Structure 1
């Protein structure tokens, strides 16, 4: 196998020196303050070895990457009944599109666009107080990563809540169609806070290991989900994980992945590794510009594309 440590260090060095870094998310004031010159990459292999480079231990706001884990939780609660309120198709539209939601009578196209993730969060909230639901999500993330220090960035959560007018509109519109069961403020409060969870690349790659290994953590043997469910979550990450940039990501990188506007990407090389990359500057679709380039380099060097070499 190629020298993964050398490859990760080479990629980290290249990315730190690039000048085409994209633009940080400015519609969330706290994210607008993030230094765009940071870059981190962590790869965790099946045997537990970690190859890390750059700012791999610097926590960042994972934003929409949390939707992978809330989807996992919601499927554990509702099973395939979840799909009566959320679809499984790529959106082909911006992640916060209202037009598409109106055209499709309040049913979100998939669980990774904002409307879909709000609907998934609402299912988790049902029957609980918001604080209890949020605690369950956070504890799940801590358990998967094996790190109880993982926490919510309260400043980011407050910033999102102050400026989340579009998400409020999406939630209210879905409420009018019966997709949202709980009070909109309850569901949105939990949604804004789980998107504001802060993790490092190393922690995030650790949390995603079960998706790379048929639903279980290969170091502990603990099964998080069935192999079939892990495969289906990966399929949704491949087709929907980068919003209307998902096709380009699949074309260039060839791995299931989920991005967040904080500049992070969680990617899965099935049977090989869990990967997390962070570069705050975004492209026009809201995905990490250098993160995608780094994953393209890594996948090519390691021969990990699910479509072959």
Structure 2
């Protein structure tokens, strides 16, 4: 790690991304995301020994969307332990992130925590008989603590538009409620979920927040244990196999790191034992993952030995 010129590496990657900026299509079903300039590009790395590098729009906030699911999964496992896995599976779905088809055959138990149905169950577990505003504040504060930044907050417009356009999520939640797998009121679970996905964060903050996943569950900067090493191994495993929906296999093939994408254009990638990487480019590919962000991560891992299969 010490011999790597992180800033130089990111600068090289950014230069290679220049002709690709603007590729992909922004998420147009959430109006505030549809307004984001598709040419934006930012990338940040923070290492377990505290070194940091960034390039481009790494300090510009974007909507975290489904990347938040990694952090609420961590919270739910801390609250409920192994019992959580009775309510959500750990297998790739092979279907779109908001598909309802598998829930019928599998009696309301979602395939994994990163498809929308699974993430709603996880959020319901975090909510755990409390008021939504309490759970939302806890989730926001968890991000602030991990990123060591009290400015992280929820974009109210995005949260409102998530609720206004989230008809499929309402269907998923009500369907699972019918199987007894949503314990709170559907409206409360979804209100918490929509706000969780509407957190605004920068690449620098996201990489910092995810650093405990690269260091066996311990925040290496503060020396504080966030979760157990065993849980981190499991979370990283699910990120590798399920973090990019039905394109997770392709991401593992091309990048070879645990990662989680969001339709805001962000990707969090973990280099176990070494670093956390965050990249943001709003244009999405057909699977709903950042097109330029994925390419940037491919270019980065080719210049390093940061691949879990090496």
Task: Please give the TM-score of this superposition, normalised by the length of structure 2.
Answer: 0.98
Match in the other structure for 2:14: 12
Match in the other structure for 1:3: 5
Distance 2:221 2:184 in 1: 38
Distance 1:27 1:204 in 2: 24
Q: SS of 2:224's equivalent?
A: coil
1:266 and 2:268 correspond: yes
> Could you report, residue by residue, the CA deviation over 1:215-264 in whole angstroms, capped at 9, with x for unpaired residues?
11112211101111111100000000000000000000000000000000
1:249 and 2:237 correspond: no
- Tell me if the contact between 1:243 and 1:285 (Cα under 8 Å) persists in the aligned partners: yes
Match in the other structure for 2:122: 120
Match in the other structure for 2:46: 44
1:91 is displaced (CA, Å) by 0.5
- Tell me if the contact between 1:60 and 1:199 (Cα under 8 Å) persists in the aligned partners: yes
1:14 is displaced (CA, Å) by 2.2
> Could you report, residue by residue, the CA deviation over 1:40-60 in whole angstroms, capped at 9, with x for unpaired residues?
000001211111000000000
- Tell me if the contact between 1:16 and 1:38 (Cα under 8 Å) persists in the aligned partners: no
Match in the other structure for 1:152: 154
Distance 1:181 1:219 in 2: 37
1:134 and 2:139 correspond: no
Match in the other structure for 2:76: 74
1:100 is displaced (CA, Å) by 1.5
Q: For 1:202-213, what aligned pairs fall within 5 Å after superposition?
A: 202-213=204-215
Distance 1:72 1:20 in 2: 33
* CA-atom RMSD in angstroms: 0.9
- Tell me if the contact between 1:134 and 1:190 (Cα under 8 Å) persists in the aligned partners: yes
Corresponding residue pairs, total: 308
Distance 1:19 1:66 in 2: 25
Q: Once structures 1 and 2 are overlaid, which stretch shifts more, 131-140 or 15-24?
A: 15-24
Match in the other structure for 2:23: 21
Distance 1:47 1:126 in 2: 36
Match in the other structure for 2:278: 276
- Tell me if the contact between 1:36 and 1:281 (Cα under 8 Å) persists in the aligned partners: yes
Distance 1:119 1:279 in 2: 28
Distance 2:230 2:128 in 1: 26
Q: Which runs of 4+ in 1 moved over 6 A?
A: none
- Tell me if the contact between 2:21 and 2:292 (Cα under 8 Å) persists in the aligned partners: no
Match in the other structure for 1:172: 174
Distance 2:172 2:237 in 1: 25
> Could you report, residue by residue, the CA deviation over 1:66-121 in whole angstroms, capped at 9, with x for unpaired residues?
00000000000000000011000001110000111122121100000000000011
Distance 1:195 1:183 in 2: 19
Of residues 293, 296, 299 in structure 2, which corresponds to 1:294?
296
- Tell me if the contact between 2:41 and 2:280 (Cα under 8 Å) persists in the aligned partners: yes
Match in the other structure for 1:201: 203
Structure 2 unaligned blocks of 5 or more: none
Q: SS of 1:266's equivalent?
A: strand
1:157 is displaced (CA, Å) by 0.6
Structure 1 unaligned blocks of 5 or more: none
